[in-house]
Amino acid sequence: MKQLSVFSRFVAVWKPSFLKSFLKEKGVAGVWKFWFFWTVALALIATIFLSFAMKSAVEEVIVEMTEKAPEFEITLQDGVLSTKNIPEPLIYEDGEEVFILDTSGAFSAAELLKGYDKGVAITDQEALSKKNQFRSDLIPFSEIEGGFSLSKEDVLHFMNTQPIVLFLSVFAFCFLVFVASFFSLLSALWWAFLVWLVGDVMLKIKGFTFSRAYLLVLQLYIPVMIIDNIVGMMIPFASTLLFTLFAGMNFWDIKNNK
Please, what's the b/e burial string for 208-232 (b: 16 or more CB within 10 A of its CB; e: otherwise)?
A: beeebbbbbbbbbbbbbbebbeeee
Question: Distance of CA 12 to CAs 20, 36, 250, Å?
Answer: 11, 17, 11
What average pLDDT does range 116-135 have in this prediction?
89
pLDDT tens column, 47-73: 999 999 999 999 999 998 888 888 889
Closest among 48, 67, 64, 37 to 181, alpha carbons compared: 37
Residues 141 and 78 sit within 8 Å (Cβ to Cβ): no
What average pLDDT does range 1-10 have in this prediction?
82
C-alpha to C-alpha distance for 15 and 254, rounded to whole angstroms: 12
Residues 57 and 175 sit within 8 Å (Cβ to Cβ): no
CB atoms near residue 105 (< 10 Å) = 10
Residues 138 and 109 sit within 8 Å (Cβ to Cβ): yes
Residues 243 and 220 sit within 8 Å (Cβ to Cβ): yes
Q: Structural domain boundaries of the chain?
A: 6-53+165-256, 80-143
Task: Please say if the pLDDT value at position 233 is more than 70.
Answer: no
Residues 9 and 30 sit within 8 Å (Cβ to Cβ): yes
Task: Please say if the pLDDT value at position 185 is more than 80.
Answer: yes
pLDDT tens column, 134-181: 788 899 999 888 888 999 999 999 888 889 999 999 999 999 999 999
Q: pTM for the whole thing?
A: 0.74
